[in-house]
Amino acid sequence: MKPLIRQLTEALGPSGREDAVRSIILREVKSLADDVQVDALGNVTAYRKPARNGVAHSRIMVATHMDEIGLVVSHIDKEGFVRFDIPGSQHDGFPIGARVQFLNGVKGVVGREPSTGADASSKMFVDVGISAASKHPLTVGEFGAHERYHMEMGNRLSANSLDARIGVAVLIEVMRRLNSTRHAVYFSFTVQGRTHGRGIPPAAYGIEPEIGIIVGGSLAGDTPGKLKAPMVLGGGPCVMICDNAMTFSPVVVDWMIASAQKAHIPVQRGVLQEGAVEAMKLQACGNGVLTGGLLIPVRYLHSTSPMVDLKDIEYAVRLVKAMLVKPIPLPGN
């Protein structure tokens, strides 16, 4: 999976401008799916039909977002410094000294005016090495993200958009390994996950799933300081129980844990403080969707260098595959 992960993390794809990432996804899934659709928002859905006489046991949506935290030029001052906003208002994603790259190829370094107040984020700027606004290589509305960076440390990987792309890698790898399924399975790669999960409702309304599984990354709690998060790198993916936004379906939670135990796959359990926005929105689509979350532990989430363990990614792939080849213990079945 490492070559695929590297390709995905080296593709620039801020929220709302995911074209480069979408191109990789389409290239990878076109031979693995029975049908591939791209909707008006840019969501990619790859469909795998059930093997047994075309009759589906359940209608399942497995989803992840493809975008990353980005920035957009909002103003260029007379000295040539670039002021910016961040879709989703996650200003902590671009600390002082962070290197950024815009979609037109221009690169720069994030700086900030001296400030100690709550409005410190509004004092941030990008220095692209231009001493005046005349003939500036950027214009208002140009999108960018962290400069591409990938590092391998044994079984651990670090890359600037890794926390955003591990879900994409997991879904593609599941499709590679999934020879057949009893279910109608829709692998959805959604846009604008970092802008309040904007992409997932249209994708879900087009599918009308009975069951939804969100795959992605979440904060690991195994670094100095003892964060109030239970996940550790290398301990397996985390089955979400609840967070401050929602309670995950107990039917799906039990199915995930039972599937892991039967396949001897280590998993962790999550009761987290941060809300899973996409899961919350998916759960409330249509008449309601039985929703589960499978999250991979990430150190330094939303930073310039998030870190993951390859074992957790592999365990996540095995678990999702194991879940899709067996009947699901739904009430009344």
Element (H, E) at 317: helix 310-324
Least confident of 127-131, 220-224, 272-276: 272-276
For residues 11 and 67, what is the distance between their CA atoms, to the nearest angstrom?
A: 10
* Mean per-residue pLDDT of the chain: 90
Q: Which domains does the chain have, with CATH numbers?
A: 2-68+161-324 (3.40.630.10), 71-146 (2.40.30.40)
Tell me, rounded to whole angstroms, the distance of Cα 199 from its chain centroid.
12
pLDDT digits (tens, 9 = 90+) for 10-23: 999 999 999 999 99
Torsion angles phi and psi, residue 322, rounded to 5: -60, -35
The predicted model gives 203-218 an average pLDDT of 94
Q: How far is CA 138 from the centre of its chain?
A: 28
Query: Hey, which bits of the chain come out as E strands?
Result: 35-38, 44-48, 59-65, 71-76, 82-85, 99-102, 107-112, 124-127, 143-146, 150-153, 156-159, 184-190, 211-219, 238-242, 268-271, 290-298, 307-309
State the pTM of this model: 0.93
Mean pLDDT confidence for 268-272: 90
Cα separation, 314 vs 171, whole angstroms: 11
196 dihedral zone (left: phi>0; alpha: psi -120 to 50; beta): left
What's the pLDDT tens digit per position in 106-162?
A: 999 999 988 655 555 678 999 999 887 778 999 999 999 999 888 999 999 999 899
pLDDT at residue 332 above 90?
no
pLDDT of the residue at 303 = 85
Instruction: Give the pLDDT confidence score for residue 56 in this predicted structure.
Output: 61
State residue 132's pLDDT score: 77
